[in-house]
A and B are shown apart, each in its own frame.
Chain A
Amino acid sequence: MTRCPIPEYVRPLPESVYPPSEDTFLFMDALEKERNHIQTLNPLFACEIGCGSGLIVSFFAKHIAPQSCFCFATDINDECLLTTKSTSKINKVCVDTICCDLLTPFLPRLYRSIDVILFNPPYVPTDEVELMNSQPFLGGTEGIASSWAGGRDGMEVTNRVLNDLDMYLSENGVAYVILLQANKPKTITQKLKARGFKLTVVLKRSSQLELLYLVKIVRLKPPHP
């Protein structure tokens, strides 16, 4: 497989922006592996939740998305969106950016309409205080901690997305998510199955400290009307 080049970005990144790391590269490798599948979907709406440096969504827009796909990105940290704007501009792709909590302001307009969700969540298990300090709607300030603090099992933010997948994903839509062994992927798989979704591992890779998974989540059957 010919490797697509990693997008450029402006260095140095602001201190509050998560720098491209092993999970970022795993994500891009997996998207490249999934390119045919994604192109078959002919996506119209694709978004990255928690875009950080904007590398993943820019990579997606440049190398993976077919033409005629609207790519947008959200983050709770304004500096991430400024960085994503500049990353997308240098790479000559269009990514609209919105500072918001997950995808909240897009409902109900994008109800069951998003074809591709990209999500490299804050997956590090932390205590409640660290999670709260990282989330502005819980009274915290959105610094770099919002890129990693995941609360219990590292899943508190990810669960908010997984619990709402039925509202976001289009009929054939797909969500790509990074998970850690500590997030208990088997339990997540079972819970998603009970809710009508199938989780499969696209790539896994052991990094220095942890086993990283890039998983894809799709519907087992068409959604109930």
Chain B
Amino acid sequence: MKLLTHNLLQCIVPACRKHHYPLKVTASLLNVEENPFDAIFASRMLERLEYNILLEAYNSLRQDGQPELPPAVPEDGASNEVFLQSLFFAINCLDVVEGAMTCSSCGRIYPIHNSIPNMIVRAIEGEQPPQSIEKEQEDEEEEESEN
């Protein structure tokens, strides 16, 4: 799981739905993917990121020798090549292979295994099923004439 994805995910427990973002990410195994630097990708993503959340997650996982992210986005962030390279590394190269994400509100742990976070809530755990499995009776008659 990329930290870009982490930046987009939130707890799915219904009681937490209002604001249980971010999830705290931890890792026991990280991988670095050698993805070619894409400045446009990094600068476009910059507008969509919660930078402080990325920074906190990245700093908690960063290993020696890996690029540092500044405490705030530089004023020329969208065009600052050095910054964009670090940002690209943080959001799109570092991969959490084994680890977990934890909700600070309900304490629920979403495991990450083989780079795949598991965010399934099972009915057996007593959670509410999602809302809109809709039942619509009114379109019963239609569609006979279609082909």
Contacts and interface: CB of A to CB of B under 8 A. Distances in A.
B118 A109 contact: no
B128 to A, nearest CB: 9
Given A67-B38, A94-B33, A98-B117, A187 B142 contact: yes
A224 interface: no
Contact of B116 (A85, A113, A191, A211): A85
Interface stretch (A13-21, A119-127, A136-144): A136-144
Contacts, number: 121
A208 interface: no
A186 interface: yes
Given A105-B119, A106-B9, A184-B142, A98 B132 contact: no
B133 A136 contact: no
A139 B124 contact: yes
A181 B21 CA distance: 41
Contact of B132 (A108, A160, A211): A160
B21 A109 contact: yes
Interface string A90-115: 00001011111110111111100100
B65 interface: no
A76 interface: yes
A79 to B, nearest CB: 10
- Most chain A beta-carbon contacts within 10 A, residue among B4, B9, B142: B9
Interface string B3-36: 0110111111000000001000000000001010
B21 A100 contact: no
Interface stretch (B39-47, B56-64, B69-77): B39-47
A138 B123 contact: yes
26 contacts: A44-B45, A44-B48, A67-B40, A68-B40, A68-B44, A70-B4, A70-B41, A85-B114, A98-B9, A99-B116, A100-B117, A100-B119, A100-B120, A101-B119, A101-B120, A105-B119, A106-B9, A108-B10, A109-B7, A110-B8, A113-B48, A137-B120, A137-B127, A159-B132, A186-B142, A187-B142
